[in-house]
């Protein structure tokens, strides 16, 4: 076997490991950006439906 063959395999494995590291770094940055947006989420103010409802009018017993 040639002396260059193990060197080529080592280079290929190192490149694969480096690529995997860049992929992990990229995914981590994306997840941090998403988490930052989620953390800054401000829900809309709740609408108070009780104040908007019409007051009930008193009815006579004959209306019931």
Look at residue 52 and tell me whether its pLDDT is greater than 90. no
Quote the CA–CA distance of 45 and 63 in Å, as a whole number.
39
pTM: 0.55
Domain count, the chain: 1
Give CA separation, 20 vs 35, 46, 47, 58, in Å. Answer: 22, 46, 49, 73
**What are the residue ranges of helices labelled H in 1-64?**
4-39, 49-52
pLDDT tens track for 55-64: 566 666 665 5
CA dihedral 14, 15, 17, 23 (to 10 degrees): 160
Domain that holds residue 18: 4-63
pLDDT of residue 62: 63
């Amino acid at each position: 076997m040639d002396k260059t063959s193990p060197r080529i395999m080592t280079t290929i494995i190192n490149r694969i490991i480096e690529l995997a590291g860049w992929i992990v770094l990229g995914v981590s940055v994306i997840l941090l950006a998403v988490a930052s947006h989620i953390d800054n989420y401000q829900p809309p103010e709740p609408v108070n439906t009780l104040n908007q409802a019409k007051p009930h009018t008193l009815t006579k017993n004959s209306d019931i």
